[in-house]
Amino acid sequence: MTRPDLRFFCLRGFMKSGTNWLGSLLDRHRQVSCRGEYHWHEILGPILDKKANMSLLEDVDFRRFLIQQLRSVVRRTLSRNLPNEIVLAGDRTPHTIAPLILNAPHIVLIRDGRDVLVSRAFHLFNRPTVTAMFQRSKKMATSLTEFQKDKWYFKENPAALLAEPEFVIQTAKWWVAQQESDRRTLKHYPNLPVRFVQYETLLERTQEITDELFEFLGVDPALAAPIEGSLQPGFETEQPDQFLRKGEAGDWVNYFTDENKRTFKQFANEELIRQGYVANDQW
């Protein structure tokens, strides 16, 4: 049963944008729990989408009842086994903004799409079974073999990381689509409390930004543990074969070829401009 005093929030952002790190930074507060990726959108998405082709949901009353029950499940799951000192429970699934819990504040982490592309590439080379790209692309399959033999392969052969145009296009379009989806959602829910944070700003002003987020969520920043160890921005050494690889802004310049630049500009430059990462296409 959900405690009546427990409040909820959502942490969102595109995959490989730093949601795991920010979630851990928030979780260090003695009154906050921010753990796990529940991916509720996979269940709730078609139900919340009025355009979804689901015959059972043509009954408006049944649809309303189902949404109410599923939102109750979300609240109960987030509140499960929490100590009494926790007053705020969050879900940090890397995805678009979605009103899973009515009026719950949202923190949305935005990262330069070019760095997202590089981080996603390393993520997939470390977990090749989660995508079919290695079956479709001979270039990626060859690079995978080399990377599995030598984790520093891409440092010595940087152009090989993004050699498959389909992967670059797919990621660029997906990154743009998520930002566009968030803007549509906020237009539909104008009163939803949302705080946008850029990953690059979080790296530079970690303490200041997390304190501001605690205040946004309605808890005292002074009750948070110090930012120490792996919670500190960046890593002492790069770990290309690990989930937490580098934690650096601007790493894309080490891997983008001229072709990569042309492709990314074609599909995502307008969004880079909108987010303030570039002023034009002269980069």
- Structure confidence at residue 79 as a pLDDT band (50, 70, 90): confident
Checking if the pLDDT of 49 tops 70, the result is: no
pLDDT at 202: 97
State percent of the chain over pLDDT 90. Answer: 65
Pairwise pLDDT comparison (76 vs 21), residue with the higher score: 21
Residues of 35-52 as b/e, b for ≥16 C-beta within 10 angstroms?
A: eeebebbeebeeebeeee
Checking if the pLDDT of 71 tops 80, the result is: no
At the top level of CATH, the class of 7-112+192-231 is alpha beta
Checking if the pLDDT of 45 tops 70, the result is: no
Question: Region 64-90: what's the mean pLDDT?
Answer: 81
Q: Which residues on adjacent β-strands are paired with residue 106?
A: 10, 194
130-180 per-position pLDDT tens digit: 899 999 999 999 999 999 999 999 999 999 999 999 999 999 999 999 999
β-strand 7-13 against 32-34: which pairing, if any?
unpaired
Question: Region 5-23: what's the mean pLDDT?
Answer: 92
Task: Compute the mean pLDDT over every residue in the chain, rounded to the nearest whole number.
Answer: 88
Domain boundaries, the chain: 7-112+192-231, 114-171+236-274
Token readout for 208 is 């200041």
Checking if the pLDDT of 198 tops 90, the result is: yes
pLDDT at 239: 79
Strands lying side by side in the sheet with 88-91: 32-34, 88-91, 7-13, 106-110, 194-198
Say how far apart CA 59 and CA 130 lie, in whole Å. Answer: 36
Pairwise pLDDT comparison (102 vs 1), residue with the higher score: 102
Highest mean pLDDT among 25-34, 39-48, 72-81: 25-34
